[in-house]
Amino acid sequence: MFSSKIIEFQHSKNASKILNDVLPEPASKLVPDWYKKLKHSIKLKTVKGCIPFLDTLTSGYILKMPQDFLVNHNFYDERIKDFDSYFKFSYGAVADYVVQKDLNLNTNNKEIHPTEQLGNECPFHKKNKNLPYYKILNPFIIKTPPGYSCLFVPPLNNTDDRFSIIPGIVDTDSFPKEVNFPIIINGDKYPNLSTTIERGTPYVQVIPFKRDNWKMKITSYKDPKIEESFLVNKSLINNYRKYFWKRKKWI
């Protein structure tokens, strides 16, 4: 049996009431309805029978938007005269509560990554319409045990079609601050986007992992024995679940 490790999501005491309904949750509690409604049978084999797919939906923890986030992306406004004015009118976050001091929540101040930070050939630029990258401020400090880091990705196989965070890895056992998230607007689908990313929207999947050193090795193998081949194809459905899968716990 695996022992349970503790991941902490710390926030300011002053923010307890503000954040109470948008606290992080295990990803397993936010499996999308479209997946739950799927049926899997011998007659119709669907992704519902693919345990690797299920593991992507249930691994780790989900961060939710701490407040409404207003985006007006790739719009021309005659009031825009310079770079700062562009962000005054094209980007902002509309709070649905009073923002208190030092809570690290979204404000109407611009928080961006200029395109120059990603160089000239970054493939994100085209999708983001060659505009700077808006940044979502996360109010939680994330702490893991010594030797453990966190992989931050858009919710796996459950991403909002309007935007996604730029993935990253942080050594959360030593980093003492909030991890904030630049996002890419999905300009392939929405060349011009005026939308509100609502408070409570899942936007980050947090997957803690133990840091290990690895060395690559390339080998060859003999053709599988008949018995091994039979095991892989023993049942018409759910072979992986029955014979190979190891259950993971995220509580």
| pLDDT tens string 192-204 | 998 889 999 999 9
pLDDT confidence bin for 17, thresholds 50/70/90: confident
Q: Is the pLDDT reported for residue 82 higher than 70?
A: no
Q: What is the pLDDT of residue 243?
A: 75
Give the per-residue pLDDT at 101.
39
Mean pLDDT of 95-107: 43
Residue 53: is its pLDDT beyond 50? Answer: yes
pLDDT score recorded for residue 110:
61
Per-residue 3-state assignment (H helix, E strand, C coil) for the chain: CCCCCCCEEECCHHHHHHHHHHCCEEHHHHCCHHHHCCCCCCCCCCHHHCHHHHHHHHCCEEEECCCCEEEEECCCCCCCCCHHHHHHHHECCCCCCCCCCCCCCCCCCCCEECHHHHCCCCCHHHHCCCCCEEEECCCCEEECCCCEEEEEECCCCCCCCCEEECCEEECCCCCCCCCCEEEEECCCCCCCEEEEECCCCEEEEEEEEECCCCCCCCCCCCCCCHHHHHHHCCCCCCHHHHHCCCCCCCC
Q: Is the pLDDT of residue 237 over 90?
A: no
CATH: 2.60.40, 1.10.287, 2.70.40, 2.40.50. Which one for 8-26+60-237? 2.70.40
pLDDT tens track for 201-235: 999 999 999 999 999 999 987 765 555 566 666 66
Among the listed ranges 35-44, 57-66, 155-164, 237-246, which one has the minimum average pLDDT value? 237-246
pLDDT in tens, 132-172: 898 888 989 999 999 999 999 999 999 999 999 999 999 99
- pLDDT of 93 over the 90 cut: no
pTM: 0.81
Of residues 241 and 48, more confidence is placed in 48
